[in-house]
Structure 1
Amino acid sequence: MRSGAKVAVVGGVFVLVAGGLGYGVYEVVLGGSESGAIGNASESSEVRTGPPDKEETEKTAKGFLDAWASGDASAAALLTNNESVAEPLLAGFADEAHVTKAVITPGAAVGTKVPYTVKATVSYDGKTKPWSYSSELTVVRGLTTGKALVDWQPAVIHPQLTEGASLKTGESSSAAIEAVDHNGKVLDKETYPSLGPILDSLREKYGDRTGGSPGIETWIEPADEQLPDTTLLTLAKGKPGKLQTTLDADAQAAAEKAVKQFSGASVVAVRPSTGSIRAVANNPATGFNAAMQGKQAPGSTLKIMTAAMLLEKGFVTANGATECPKEARYYESTFHNLKNFELPASSSFTTSFARSCNTAFIKKIDEVDDDSALAKEAREVFGIGLDWKTGVVSVDGSVPEATRGVAAAQYIGQGTVQMNALNIASITATARTGTFHQPVIVPQSLDDRQLATASRSLSQNVTGQLNDMMRATASWGTGKAAMASVGGDKGAKTGSAEVDGQGTSNSWFTGFSDDLAAAAVVQSGGHGGDAAGPVVAAVLRAGS
């Protein structure tokens, strides 16, 4: 029981009134409880099994929420399946987050899940502000007691709370920022929700460099000290310092709208001539920044890199004839084309690229005679795996050295290749100009950080052929439909990545228009041009 609480007995019911905190009332009706602590309960009772029924679910949820709202962390924790972990977080709701009033209202149970709304008041250093949000809990059967209990997860306290994280209210650890795009337009979380984690990271890293001052806020403090705090409520604004980014507000707005069409989608746009990141968007928009931190096989979009390597080594030319049979084998692995299509023997390498013929690429690995060649191309030309310092946390891709069938799978973006939308957008940008420019979201001049540099560029001849092959893909190949609405000098490459245990492949697409490159992935989206293609096209139409 919290300090200052008063207890009264009213008609056989203990009523707890949390003195001084203004919390709601928590009631516990004694007698007939499972523990049999009071009354003539039997000395032993059968332990119940199976999922909790509706009555148990509603009663347990209400008891827990009432106890939490009253400020009685101990009583609330007793109604969970992890009392020792739950109690400190529940107590911290008042002690560390400084919630002084709380009304928590359960909704209708759906099975064993109960949604609820929290309407609270946060007070700190003379500043007070209302705070409301929604979350849900799940009621489960206790493994040993058979009691209905709340399945304890940090998200029970707040939907964005993760393992090891905590809620805090106080003076913010870093100064407020006003982030602006490359034209000076203000970028905020409300207008551009995908930028939420990015703006938090930028504030944490650069807030003290912008001349701003901290405010009073409620935030989530993550377990990992390398991750930024996530601001949930501002009680008093600090003086924001202006932070210049490389983003483009128009491209960002288009990206935000485009990814909302799908339940799992990411897109990034990069300027080939400079490496400036123009847009980053994810759906869902909060939490993990999959567009810059994801790690997945990118499918045939990686054929841009494989084609560059084959062109550099002289094993193909854009207009030279290339085999595209129904299947091709390398050591223990056999590879097929979509629906087992094949092309006439006289077909050019451009046709195989534009039609996304897998076997045309696989059959060349014998001629290359170096299973590690693609990994070298990735590092030396495209800057993959060189520790990018974009300005926020990002993953710079991976093409590990491999042998035999795994090496062959890499040629078509499968196997051990790991990429995200940022990496593929950068690969497209490098192909566009022939030279790798490490992507950045804030100018290097802000902190003089060391940017990654590739050891060599593509020749003008190879760069020209790559651009021509991507133009063909956009004008009459697999990217035609998606790129039809895009103007300027344009090119594209589609990709579908098969994932173990996933019924439908992930949809990948990348393209360029003049001096803008973009790449997108849609989880379980199928063919690259069907889902990811329109996302990329929308960003290319809007950006600059």
Structure 2
Amino acid sequence: MARGLKAGIIGTVFIGMVGVAGYGAYNIYSGLDGGGSGSAPATTTVRDDSPLTAKDVTHTAADFLAAWSSGDDQAAAKLTDSVQTATAALAEFKAKGSISKVTATATPSDNATDATSAAGPAGMTVSYTVRATISYENLAPQIWTYGSTLTVGRNTVGDPAVKWAPSVMEPDLKEGQSVVTGLATAPQLDLVDRHGRTMTAEQYPGLTDVFADLRKRYADAHLGGSPGIETYVAADDGSAVKTLYVVKPGKNAQLKTTLDAGIQTAAENAVKKYGQSGVTALDTSTGRILAMAANPPGGTNYALSLQPPGSTFKIVTATALMLAPPSAEYTHGISPSVKSQCYNGYAAAGGKKYENVTRDNPGATFSWDFANSCNTGFIRLSKYLDSGTLTKVGRDYFGLAGDSRPWYTGTGTTDGSIPGGTGDEMTSEMIGQGQVLMNTLNMASVAATVRSGQFQQPSILQDKDLIENRQTIHATPLPGSVRQNLMSMMHTTAVSGTARGLLTGVASPYGAKTGSAEENKDDLPTGWFTAYSGHVAAAAMVVQGDHGNKSAGPIVADILRAAS
């Protein structure tokens, strides 16, 4: 090599290293130049840890993909930073996956050739497409196409190399797993509605987590069907983790749900209008879940998340008050026509003051207080309840017993709770605040119980025998007069109370109750609404949606109209 050229190379290396290595860079320079007074031999090998250029990355990735595509697994493995592991893995990929040919092609955007573009310290990622030919036994070859990525860094001696990981072969593959082609361990599972229509999470994103739960719970149930031939990710014990490609379809098994695709569509569209919202609809005569949707999909399921239900809980409180024994003041018991004044700031004896969102009404009746959601009209009657009344009425008539008597609907639901209490806790629970917690399934069931007169244990499966731990919950029917009074007050609420104008166009009979729950005075309250129409009941919740007639009410109304 000409001395001038040699000096130029050395100078370039030296300049690039001075800022990094200091005194060490001087020794490296001396070694490269062959001079210097140190004792280090001139042939010392220095590991190259400089950033890779885009050309290094492009050429390394291209060579690896070309070797893999040619079928030379050993040559491909030698271009990785873990030769033995990669050699074995590439061979296993072909053998267990019945892969007869691989064609891997880098995407055009990654074919950069600018040698001045350097990769970061972790390397540079290259995307590519794989066309794998699956040749399984005597079946016709199938082409399986998917995308993946690899990262180019440096190996142990500093040369550019593909950083080996199972995901280089297939993006879902993790350590200890393999790609296998063979008979699926179980048939694919279709979820169908009550009319036999197949439903998917892609069609109904508000059911994303519910569908995932159903598939997991009933994957091993004997639901008919026959498995197909699939290429899938297998765990180290051989069990299927994820289907990647269906080589030969089997006959899908069917899990028959109680859902109604038409009503579910209305629910999906309704919750899209409000962030952090959820809704559930039930058949009032059977308790079957007709629709359930949450927005945003795939996150917190606001249809099933527990929150204070606000004034929608006054349905339970009104029931408790009307079941209270006669008193000196109300010799015939509490009925919709009894007087119970509505004044803002009223406090029960020894308790805190409560506020109303409605106007004062000195001539208010119990029915007026219900329809116009007057808190203090209810709290004025708190002396006719004791610390355990709401808990007992919720359990005995509405099936609300929390963890002590779970509903077991067929999917993962958490039942509401009414802990009960004295003083301010009891008066707060009367209006759906305090420690009372419900979800939209619970409150839809409360409205359904009013409509049918009898609690019907909710279920999302047509075959209730499939539901693990399912035990029939027996509840006391509502006395006829109490049921009629509740229906009358809920109808008044819908016609001239806080829900007026919302339920136009729904089937008769119909009734509603609005609510709002304030958890933080700096935030808008959570809006609630529950109603029945014909033989369908629904409840919705919108976190920080303001009062229920503004947010949750329109959601329920859309569903009831769709079901009419």
Partner of 1:373: 389
Contact 2:494–2:503 (Cα < 8 Å) also in 1: yes
Please tell me the residue identity of whatever aligns with 1:514.
G
Distance 2:287 2:194 in 1: 13
Shift of 1:243: 2.1
Q: Within 5 A, what are the aligned runs for 1:516-531?
A: 516-531=536-551
Distance 1:335 1:168 in 2: 63
Residue 211 of structure 1 aligns to a residue whose secondary structure is: coil
The alpha-carbon distance between structure 1 residues 468 and 206, as it changes in their structure 2 partners (threshold 3 A), is same
Contact 2:340–2:378 (Cα < 8 Å) also in 1: no
Does residue 1:242 correspond to 2:260, yes or no?
no
Distance 1:380 1:334 in 2: 30
Q: Within 5 A, what are the aligned runs for 1:304-453?
A: 304-314=315-325, 315-330=333-348, 331-338=350-357, 341-368=358-385, 370-384=386-400, 385=402, 386-447=405-466, 450-453=470-473
Shift of 1:434: 2.0
Q: Give the counterpart of 2:212 among 190, 196, 200.
A: 200
Q: Give the counterpart of 1:295 among 306, 310, 322.
A: 306
Bigger drift between 356-365 and 205-214 goes to 205-214
Distance 2:243 2:389 in 1: 48
| Structure with a larger share of its residues in strand | 1
Please tell me the residue identity of whatever aligns with 2:270.
A
Partner of 2:520: 500
Contact 1:365–1:371 (Cα < 8 Å) also in 2: no
Residue 286 of structure 1 aligns to a residue whose secondary structure is: coil
The alpha-carbon distance between structure 1 residues 211 and 335, as it changes in their structure 2 partners (threshold 3 A), is same
The alpha-carbon distance between structure 1 residues 493 and 416, as it changes in their structure 2 partners (threshold 3 A), is same
The alpha-carbon distance between structure 1 residues 542 and 360, as it changes in their structure 2 partners (threshold 3 A), is same
The alpha-carbon distance between structure 1 residues 522 and 471, as it changes in their structure 2 partners (threshold 3 A), is same
RMSD: 4.4
The alpha-carbon distance between structure 1 residues 241 and 316, as it changes in their structure 2 partners (threshold 3 A), is same
Contact 1:252–1:281 (Cα < 8 Å) also in 2: yes
Residue 340 of structure 2 aligns to a residue whose secondary structure is: coil
Contact 2:295–2:301 (Cα < 8 Å) also in 1: no
The alpha-carbon distance between structure 1 residues 390 and 448, as it changes in their structure 2 partners (threshold 3 A), is closer
Residue 429 of structure 2 aligns to a residue whose secondary structure is: helix
Shift of 1:289: 3.1
Does residue 1:275 correspond to 2:292, yes or no?
no
Deviation sequence 1:440-459 (CA, Å, 0-9, x none): 00024442753341441210
Shift of 1:129: 4.2
Distance 1:272 1:172 in 2: 40
Distance 1:38 1:189 in 2: 63
Shift of 1:497: 1.0
The alpha-carbon distance between structure 1 residues 217 and 507, as it changes in their structure 2 partners (threshold 3 A), is farther
Contact 1:200–1:230 (Cα < 8 Å) also in 2: no
The alpha-carbon distance between structure 1 residues 524 and 242, as it changes in their structure 2 partners (threshold 3 A), is same
Distance 1:478 1:102 in 2: 63
Q: Within 5 A, what are the aligned runs for 1:18-417?
A: 40=25, 129-130=144-145, 174-207=186-219, 208-214=221-227, 216=230, 235-236=246-247, 237-292=249-304, 294-314=305-325, 315-330=333-348, 331-338=350-357, 341-368=358-385, 370-384=386-400, 385=402, 386-417=405-436
TM-score under structure 2 length normalisation: 0.66
Distance 1:381 1:400 in 2: 16
Contact 2:410–2:467 (Cα < 8 Å) also in 1: no
TM-score under structure 1 length normalisation: 0.68
Shift of 1:173: 6.2
Please tell me the residue identity of whatever aligns with 2:417.
S
Please tell me the residue identity of whatever aligns with 2:541.
V
Distance 1:117 1:415 in 2: 56
Shift of 1:35: 8.8
The alignment-based identity, stated in percent, is 34
Q: Give the counterpart of 1:533 among 540, 553, 562.
A: 553
Q: Please list every run of 5 or more consecutive structure 1 residues that lacks an aligned counterpart in the other structure.
A: 1-11, 13-30, 42-58, 72-90, 107-115, 134-156, 222-228
Distance 1:205 1:514 in 2: 33
Please tell me the residue identity of whatever aligns with 2:499.
G
Distance 1:34 1:443 in 2: 73
**Aligned residue-pair number:** 429
Deviation sequence 1:246-281 (CA, Å, 0-9, x none): 111110010011111112111100011100100011
Please tell me the residue identity of whatever aligns with 1:254.
A
The alpha-carbon distance between structure 1 residues 478 and 210, as it changes in their structure 2 partners (threshold 3 A), is same
Residue 218 of structure 2 aligns to a residue whose secondary structure is: helix
Residue 353 of structure 2 aligns to a residue whose secondary structure is: strand
The alpha-carbon distance between structure 1 residues 179 and 332, as it changes in their structure 2 partners (threshold 3 A), is same
Please tell me the residue identity of whatever aligns with 1:458.
L
Deviation sequence 1:356-411 (CA, Å, 0-9, x none): 1111112221222x122111111111111221111111111111132221221111
Residue 390 of structure 1 aligns to a residue whose secondary structure is: coil
Distance 2:264 2:187 in 1: 24
Does residue 1:482 correspond to 2:485, yes or no?
no
The alpha-carbon distance between structure 1 residues 306 and 517, as it changes in their structure 2 partners (threshold 3 A), is same
Partner of 1:47: none
Contact 2:278–2:302 (Cα < 8 Å) also in 1: yes
Shift of 1:212: 2.7
Shift of 1:467: 0.6
Shift of 1:238: 4.5
Q: Please list every run of 5 or more consecutive structure 2 residues that lacks an aligned counterpart in the other structure.
A: 1-8, 10-15, 27-50, 66-88, 111-124, 137-141, 149-169, 326-332
Shift of 1:291: 1.2
Q: Give the counterpart of 2:532 among 512, 515, 518.
A: 512
Shift of 1:418: 1.3
Please tell me the residue identity of whatever aligns with 1:350.
S
Bigger drift between 459-468 and 182-191 goes to 182-191
Distance 2:234 2:380 in 1: 52
Please tell me the residue identity of whatever aligns with 1:440.
S
The alpha-carbon distance between structure 1 residues 447 and 37, as it changes in their structure 2 partners (threshold 3 A), is farther
Contact 1:121–1:128 (Cα < 8 Å) also in 2: no
